[in-house]
Amino acid sequence: MTQQPLVDFWFEFASTYSYPAAARIGRLAQARGVALRWRPFLLGPVFKQNGWTTSPFNLYPVKGRYMWRDLERICGALDLPFAEPPQFPQNTILPARVALIAFDEGWGETFTNAIYRAQFGDKKNIGDQETVASVIRALGRDADDVMGRAQADDNKLRLRQQTDEAIAHGIFGAPSFVTADGELFWGNDRLDDALDWARAR
């Protein structure tokens, strides 16, 4: 009996290139018979280690301008709605905490894509409690109940531990993909390579 190949998909809700990656990865993994673990984490602590207090796309505006144009092209090719949000980067702690709960209960992928779309398609601020609540409600869930559990101490700790685990894997940006044999791939551009690597082993 061979085991199904597995890829950990590490994403951060503030990461622009994680938006197209999250939209594509489910279908592409399924087509290859690769199992996925969706691993939300926070880039803030990673960036802090580099001495960055905000996104490198803000610290280096020339690169930032390019990124928004590049993202627009990528979303255009995928027919994904795109609009540069007024706030960037946004505070993603709440949606990341909710995502942990959502993946436990089987609605994580839908929630994740809806949060990305709210931010990078509909210019919403996903740091606002009401934005997150309305995404949860649109999925037919009880927003107060879910957010209450998301903000409980054990779940907060879980997100911190998951972020520590990302750093321990050598992850320095998002999206990142880690195969069962520990191979790291960084960026939406490496999604197919990561899945192919997992399948070939």
Query: Does 181 interact with a second copy (rule: CB under 8 A)?
Result: no
Q: Where are the alpha helices (DSSP H) in the chain?
A: 18-32, 44-49, 56-59, 61-78, 93-104, 108-120, 129-138, 143-150, 153-168, 191-200
> 4, 50, 53, 58: which one contacts a second copy (CB under 8 A)?
50
Query: Does 142 interact with a second copy (rule: CB under 8 A)?
Result: no
Query: Does 70 interact with a second copy (rule: CB under 8 A)?
Result: yes
3-state SS class at 160: helix
Least distance CB 60 / a second copy (angstroms) = 6
Query: Does 73 interact with a second copy (rule: CB under 8 A)?
Result: yes
Least distance CB 63 / a second copy (angstroms) = 5
Q: Which residues are catalytic?
A: 15
CA distance 42 to 29: 24
CA distance 40 to 103: 10
How many positions of this chain bind a second copy (CB under 8 A)?
A: 19
Instruction: Measure the N-to-C terminal CA separation of the chain; round to a whole number of Å.
Output: 14
Q: Which residues bind a second copy (CB under 8 A)?
A: 50, 60, 62-63, 65-66, 69-70, 73, 170, 172-173, 184-187, 189-190, 193
